[in-house]
Amino acid sequence: MEVSAMADIVLPCKACGVAVFAPADDAVGEFARQYGVYCPDCQKEQTKVTPEVLRPVLPPFSCFCPPCFKDTKPEELPCPCKSASALKWPYGPMGLNLWGWPGTGKTRTMSLLIDALLNEGRSVIAFGPEDFRAQCQAHNYRRSPWLRKLSRVDVLFIDDLDKMNLTREMEKDFFSVLSNRMGRKPVLMTGNSTGEEIEYTFKLGYAMVRRIRDHCLSIHFGKHDMTQNQKIT
């Protein structure tokens, strides 16, 4: 391998691990250290990647919930009145927070709403309670582009917000996404906990709850809202 006179740092190729030389003192070297580099052979292979391979790591929303959710009829949901109110939510900066008793159809209601948003051509990213942590670990120290994507997508949905188990650093990243979106693009979420319980669960819980209250329409799904044949005994 020929080495340039300016090449005074060595980095491993992101694909095959072979040594790649890069200048240390200019913008190219700084970019290489921050984002990694490919050797010439792997660069050629990268250009051959088809668009299908470049699809996002997160699955589409249709893969997020069981297939039966798509066939749900709003009038058959456990809390039809509350679900009907939620399904009237108009797309805009104000988000939507469905919280309350387990098994009352909150996620199922959201699935119908998001399916309608997808049919309108809106982009959606959806998280289960463990997904944000898994994605943080997958992106490691190169989270900035991914976090920007979460801040800019048309709709961000978080299922079971109160069950997220995040490190302090992950929680800061999550809070930054909420802060960037609130009042600009909607955040949709479900959960079982009260605001006070969320404040206790997260280190940034007080600020998080304040943003949710200020920028989301909250609809409570209670046990008393369930139709008689849906009530849990």
Per the CATH hierarchy, to which homologous superfamily does domain 61-230 belong?
P-loop containing nucleotide triphosphate hydrolases (3.40.50.300)
Average pLDDT, the chain: 78
pLDDT for 38 beyond 70: no
pLDDT band at 230 (very low <50, low <70, confident <90, very high): low
* Cβ within 8 Å of residue 151, ≥6 positions away: 176, 177, 180, 181, 185
Enter the tokens of residue 15.
């694909």
pLDDT for 33 beyond 70: no
Closest to 116 in 3D by CA, of 159, 177, 74: 74
- Exposure letters 161-183 (e unless 16+ CB within 10 A, then b): bbebebeeebbebbbebbbebbe
Tell me which of 188 and 24 has the higher pLDDT: 188
pLDDT for 228 beyond 60: no
Global pTM?
0.68
Give me the mean pLDDT over the 80-104 stretch: 93
Residues 138-196 have pLDDT tens digits of 877 678 888 889 999 999 999 999 999 888 888 999 999 999 998 899 999 999 999 89
Report the pLDDT value the prediction gives residue 50, as an integer from 0 to 100.
Answer: 34
Report the pLDDT value the prediction gives residue 140, as an integer from 0 to 100.
Answer: 75
Give me the mean pLDDT over the 116-137 stretch: 88
Report the pLDDT value the prediction gives residue 233, as an integer from 0 to 100.
Answer: 39
pLDDT for 4 beyond 70: no
Domain coordinates of the chain in residue numbers? 7-47, 61-230
- Do residues 115 and 61 lie in contact, with contact meaning Cβ atoms separated by under 8 Å? yes
